[in-house]
Amino acid sequence: GAGVSQSPRYKVAKRGQDVALRCDPISGHVSLFWYQQALGQGPEFLTYFQNEAQLDKSGLPSDRFFAERPEGSVSTLKIQRTQQEDSAVYLCASSPPGTGGQETQYFGPGTRLLVL
Amino acid sequence: DQQVKQNSPSLSVQEGRISILNCDYTNSMFDYFLWYKKYPAEGPTFLISISSIKDKNEDGRFTVFLNKSAKHLSLHIVPSQPGDSAVYFCAASGGGNTPLVFGKGTRLSVIA
């Protein structure tokens, strides 16, 4: 079946521009996560949705970062007034409905953002 | 303050031999551990996981061992194949769809 898809795969933005990154989770997966991966590091948590509800946004680095999932399926991560330190790979992951508290997250290919 | 540590940035192994990748964690609330494999320009691919109620889980050539008292887990790949060359990430969670906490990864090179 289809995995998690993300678009665009690559994005170059000028400092100060707004960007929007899209994630299509695996069909039927209620949980959706966004992670940020800087060069040479492991992914770091940004935010988590269960259906359309954003249950945890503790990892968002600033109020320039905003995520939504209005219909409980596709999610968009928006970064306003991009800065050079926002350059990273943004990963989306989804997981199926609960199976006893230990759900595996499946990742998309990521969007590589470069802010010049 | 890293909660999940992979202290070896890289590992080189000959084809056919065993690869052992190590991971340490500090948070005793973690109860679910996963290994992901990542090729360049792709997202992490789930490999194998283990619950804290177990000390071993095996799937084909891949075995994960968990030592809770030492807060240590390891991934064994045997026999190693050139296609196993990738970056391997250890991840941990408190279960219940809580966010994963990742190590920095270990780059495995399997030499033919």
Q: How high is the pLDDT of residue A102?
A: 67
Distance CA A82, CA A64 (A): 8
Q: How high is the pLDDT of residue B43?
A: 94
- Which residues, 6+ apart, have CB-to-CB distance to A32 below 8 Å? A23, A25, A48, A49, A69, A75, A92, A93, A94
Distance CA B71, CA A63 (A): 35
User: Å from A16 to nearest chain B CA?
Assistant: 26
Helix, strand, coil percent values for chain A (each to nearest 5):
5, 45, 50
Q: What is the pLDDT of residues A62-110, one digit of tens each?
A: 999 999 999 999 999 999 999 999 999 999 999 987 655 567 899 999 9
Mapped onto helix, strand or coil, the DSSP state of residue A42 is: coil
Of the candidates B46, B95, B97, the beta carbon closest to that of A106 is on B46
Q: How high is the pLDDT of residue A104?
A: 87
Q: How high is the pLDDT of residue A103?
A: 77
Distance CA A14, CA A111 (A): 16
Q: Give the Cα-Cα-Cα angle B22, B36, A3 (nearest 5 degrees).
A: 175
Instruction: Specify the DSSP element, H or E, that contains A26.
Output: none
| Residue B100 pLDDT level (bands cut at 50, 70, 90) | very high
Does the structure show a pLDDT above 80 at B52?
A: yes
What is the rounded average pLDDT of the residues B33-37? 96
CB pair distance less than 8 Å for A48 and B46: no
For chain A, what is the radius of gyration of the CA atoms? 14
Question: What is the residue-averaged pLDDT of chain A?
Answer: 93
Percent of chain A with pLDDT over 90: 85
What is the rounded average pLDDT of the residues A33-43? 95
- Residue with the larger pLDDT of the pair A72 and B106: B106
CB pair distance less than 8 Å for B104 and A110: no
Q: Mutate which of B35, B90, B97 to test chain A, going by most A C-beta atoms within 10 A?
A: B97
Q: How high is the pLDDT of residue A100?
A: 55
Distances (CA, A) of A51 to A22, A77, B75: 16, 15, 33
How many CB pairs lie under 8 A apart between chains A and B? Answer: 67
B97 closest CA partner among A71, A53, A116: A53
What is the rounded average pLDDT of the residues B65-94? 97
CB pair distance less than 8 Å for B97 and A108: no
User: Å from A7 to nearest chain B CA?
Assistant: 13
Q: How high is the pLDDT of residue B90?
A: 97
Least confident of A9-13, A18-22, A82-86, B98-102: B98-102
